[in-house]
């Protein structure tokens, strides 16, 4: 047979080396064509008496990223089409499509000849499930080798045998933790769990795999042999009685029951381990078919996989502009933010000059990178050699002349217009006319800052989020005169440092901060209403937020909130701010001296370790408290999600954000908006604009104008539209005839 994605070479020992190497792809992924070719290879192996066994490996630096999730999305689309033409067969069609990959892997497992997976590089999702179906597994001893089943992170779960094979190889507790968190395993951890057999030197990987076959590897999976015992003990045993109630409780605590896929993992493992493997695989297939049809799966796959890939590949980058190869980047301001920006720049292999008022201050900025590198070496995330190379790319300086040849300069100085004006003038006195100047500002409009520039076309905003080395989002803000060239350069830089960019038109607070402020402001409203502080925090977490709004405000700093409130009053008038909010935050900062985590006192108290932070006991005395039993917790959850989603809708109406993909990714990556929803606009789309509007009308009557819907949303509800329909990012551009 002829194959496009695989090569098959059989040696003199009768061992076939099947190499997966998809043409034109940087990484192997499962597609329908790949599955068909692999199915044919299995038939060929079985039919050829000269083939004694198979070593399966990758011809690329990585093994495989797993299934192409657009293929999974197409399954649902096919089912929806079948519903229209043959509704009685739609569910069966989806069930059969879901079982295709699992059936193929079981076919490998029971083909009668030994298969060994030789894992080089990243081996995730369906690729790892394929490896688990092989009779032997060898992984290369390299930091580049990572294994795992991360599907739960995009709203689905390991549906090609993962929930059945992992707990038959590892104890059930480790298996559940691995799959419900989507954690990544090193070769050493995978071997300790019993998921792989050997770790080999990278150059000897294939020979080690062949040696397993030559050594008499059985072509039978352990669970297909008589007398097989589960490594973690039976479900109905003393071990099981300890594990399963605790597992269910942990699931509830960690997910608030917002993630159906995580629940499906528990159910698949619990039910599947009580029956033979083939029945277990059918159970898994049934749950996977159900999960694919949930709004959570569809929304998460769209936002966290499809949209993420499209945006990261430059979906919003202007066409026809040559990519920038950065020879040097300048960062002005060696405080925490500037130092962190310098670190991620150097980590991307780009030389960076870190400027501050004097060499000592700039050196302290580089010391931040030294600390990060030291921690990574201690954790085994990098080598000393690579760490030294990174640090050699950072040059501390107090001389603006050192950034004269920079392609991009980012200022990260104090949020003060006068300070930023002085820096802009000093930088532009040195850099080339073609260089781009970017302001890392979180609140000040870019158009106003660009008035200090002699080259406003090359002036742009790049808003980083703290901590820069961990937060994956950046906002790229366009001033009124920002050119496409400046935008392309900024996007090339963000791509180089491996962040996800969203493009935002200029406004106060841009996009993410506008949404975050609504979240924190609603917590102020609840405090004033007398909702117990613990209920405020817990309701937010139950709604799917990773951090309660009061804890988040402590991280941001309460005195910064006060500055923002006062700046809003100064610029927009007293009507722009709820006076109750001003009174609350003034009291916290000026009377109580509670600034947030930075001074150990905010809405929470931060005692010395090992004690944990806790809500400030006096917080509940600031306002008369409601009876907790009479507070509608679900309504609190709705208030938090609705106030954020409404603000996201307003930014679409105002043209601040123009692409729903960016709004959704911005809310999730920027501050963790309930990821199971797929983002703030997907939250509205999944519910339906009419249903969402009705909920907001009820909230507005009870709690105020912050829940009034914009005209855009009212129009969408009347027309039955969605954001992804009205602002379809994939719509073909129509040209006039």
Q: How far apart are CA 649 and CA 679, in angstroms?
A: 12
Tokens 């003060």, residue located: 416
Radius of gyration of the chain (CA): 28
From the candidates 135, 290, 368, 463, which is the catalytic residue? 463
Residue 207 exposed, middle or buried by CB count within 10 Å (0-12, 13-18, 19+): middle
Q: How many residues does the chain have?
A: 737
Cis status of the peptide bond prior to 610, with omega within 30 of 0: yes
Q: DSSP assignment, residue 605?
A: E
Structure tokens at 27: 């990484």
Structure tokens at 154: 């995009």
Question: Please, what sign has the CA dihedral across residues 425, 430, 434, 440?
Answer: negative
Structure tokens at 141: 């001893």
Confirm if 562 and 589 have CB atoms less than 8 A apart. yes
290 is catalytic: no
Confirm if 21 and 7 have CB atoms less than 8 A apart. yes
Q: How far apart are CA 302 and CA 297, in angstroms?
A: 8
Angle at 518 between CA 512 and CA 521, to 5 degrees: 135
Q: How far apart are CA 391 and CA 396, in angstroms?
A: 11
> What is the β-pairing status of strands 184-185 and 146-148?
antiparallel
Of the candidates 636, 24, 670, the residue with the CA atom closest to the CA atom of residue 303: 670
Question: Please, what sign has the CA dihedral across residues 215, 218, 221, 227?
Answer: negative
- Residue 608: count other Cβ atoms within 10 Å of its Cβ: 6
C-beta contacts of 716-721 below 8 A and 24+ residues apart = 716/689, 717/689, 717/690, 717/692, 717/693, 720/689, 720/690, 721/689
Q: How far apart are CA 191 and CA 71, in angstroms?
A: 31
The angle that helices 660-671 and 680-687 make with each other, rounded to 10 degrees, is: 120
In 48-161, where does DSSP find H-type helix?
69-85, 87-109, 126-133
Confirm if 598 and 558 have CB atoms less than 8 A apart. no
Confirm if 298 and 305 have CB atoms less than 8 A apart. no
The CA-atom distances, in angstroms, between 692 and each of 69, 347, 493, 702 are 29, 44, 38, 16
Q: DSSP assignment, residue 395?
A: E
Residues pairing with 371 in the sheet: none
Q: How far apart are CA 513 and CA 408, in angstroms?
A: 25
Sequence-separated (6 or more) residues with CB below 8 Å from residue 709: 646, 649, 693, 696, 697
Q: What is the DSSP string of 465-503?
A: -SSTTT--EEEEEE-TT--HHHHHHHHHHHHHTT-EEEE
Terminal-to-terminal C-alpha distance of the chain = 49
Structure tokens at 147: 């294994």
Q: State the catalytic residues.
A: 463
């Amino acid at each position: 047979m002829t194959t496009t994605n695989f090569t098959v070479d059989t040696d003199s020992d009768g061992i076939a080396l099947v190499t997966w190497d998809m043409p034109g792809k940087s990484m192997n992924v499962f597609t329908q064509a790949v599955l068909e070719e692999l199915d044919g290879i299995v038939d060929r192996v079985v039919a050829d008496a000269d083939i004694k066994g198979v070593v399966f490996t990758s011809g690329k630096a990585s093994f495989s990223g797993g299934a192409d999730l657009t293929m999974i999305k197409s399954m649902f689309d096919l089912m929806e089409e079948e519903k229209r033409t043959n509704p009685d067969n739609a569910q069966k069609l989806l069930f059969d499509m879901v079982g295709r990959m699992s059936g193929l892997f079981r076919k490998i497992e029971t083909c009668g000849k030994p298969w060994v997976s030789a894992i080089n590089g990243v081996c995730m999702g369906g690729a790892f499930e394929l490896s688990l179906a092989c009779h032997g597994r060898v992984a290369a001893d390299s930091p580049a080798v990572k294994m795992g089943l991360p599907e739960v992170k995009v709203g689905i779960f390991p549906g090609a045998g993962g929930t059945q094979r992992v707990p038959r190889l590892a104890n059930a507790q480790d298996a559940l933790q691995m799959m419900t968190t989507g954690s990544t395993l090193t070769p050493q951890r995978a071997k300790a769990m019993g998921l792989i057999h050997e770790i080999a030197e990278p150059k000897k990987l294939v020979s080690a795999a062949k040696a397993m076959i030559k050594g008499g590897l059985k072509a039978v999976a352990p669970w297909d042999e008589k007398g097989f015992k589960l490594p973690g003990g039976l479900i109905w045993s003393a071990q099981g009685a300890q594990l399963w109630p605790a597992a269910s409780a942990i699931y509830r605590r960690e997910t608030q029951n917002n993630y159906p896929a995580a629940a499906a993992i528990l159910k698949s493992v619990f039910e599947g381990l009580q029956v033979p493997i083939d029945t277990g695989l059918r159970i898994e297939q049934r749950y996977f078919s159900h999960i694919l049809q949930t709004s959570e799966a569809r929304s998460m796959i769209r936002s966290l996989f499809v949209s993420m890939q499209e945006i990261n590949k430059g979906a919003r980058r202007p066409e026809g502009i040559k990519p920038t190869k950065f020879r040097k980047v300048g960062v002005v301001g060696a405080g925490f933010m500037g130092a962190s920006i310098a670190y991620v720049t150097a980590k991307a292999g780009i030389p960076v000059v870190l400027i501050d008022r004097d060499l000592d201050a700039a050196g302290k900025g580089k010391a931040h990178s030294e600390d990060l590198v030291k921690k990574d070496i201690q954790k085994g995330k990098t080598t000393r050699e690579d760490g030294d190379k990174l640090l050699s790319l950072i040059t501390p300086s107090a001389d603006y002349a050192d950034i004269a040849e920079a392609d991009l300069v980012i200022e990260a100085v104090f949020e003060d217009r006068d300070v930023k004006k002085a820096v802009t003038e000093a930088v532009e006195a040195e850099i080339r006319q073609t260089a781009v100047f970017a302001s890392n500002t979180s609140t000040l409009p870019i158009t106003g800052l660009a008035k200090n520039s002699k080259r406003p076309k090359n002036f742009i905003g790049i808003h980083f989020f703290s901590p820069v080395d961990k937060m994956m989002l950046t906002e790229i803000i366009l001033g009124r005169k920002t050119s496409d060239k400046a935008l392309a350069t900024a996007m090339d830089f963000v791509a180089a440092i491996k962040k996800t960019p969203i493009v935002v038109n200029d406004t106060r607070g841009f996009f993410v901060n506008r949404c975050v402020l609504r979240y924190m402001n609603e917590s102020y409203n609840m405090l004033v209403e007398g909702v117990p502080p613990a209920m405020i925090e817990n309701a937010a977490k139950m709604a799917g937020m990773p951090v309660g709004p009061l804890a988040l405000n402590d991280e941001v700093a309460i005195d910064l909130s006060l500055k923002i409130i006062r700046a809003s009053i100064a610029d927009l008038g007293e009507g722009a701010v709820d006076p109750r909010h001003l009174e609350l935050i003034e009291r916290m900062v000026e009377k109580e001296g509670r600034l947030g985590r930075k001074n150990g006192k905010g809405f929470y108290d931060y005692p010395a370790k090992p004690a944990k932070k806790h809500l400030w006991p006096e917080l509940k005395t600031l306002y008369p408290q409601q009876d907790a039993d009479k507070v509608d917790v679900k309504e609190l959850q709705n208030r938090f999600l609705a106030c954020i989603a409404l603000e996201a809708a307003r930014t679409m109406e105002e043209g601040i954000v123009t692409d729903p993909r960016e709004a959704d990714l911005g809310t999730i990556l920027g501050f963790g908006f309930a990821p199971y929803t797929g983002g703030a606009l997907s939250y509205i789309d999944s519910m339906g604009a009419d249903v969402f509007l009705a909920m907001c009308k009820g909230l507005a009557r009870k709690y105020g104008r912050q829940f009034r819907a914009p005209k855009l949303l009212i129009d969408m509800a009347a027309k039955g539209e969605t954001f992804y329909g009205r602002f379809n990012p994939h719509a073909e551009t129509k040209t006039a005839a």
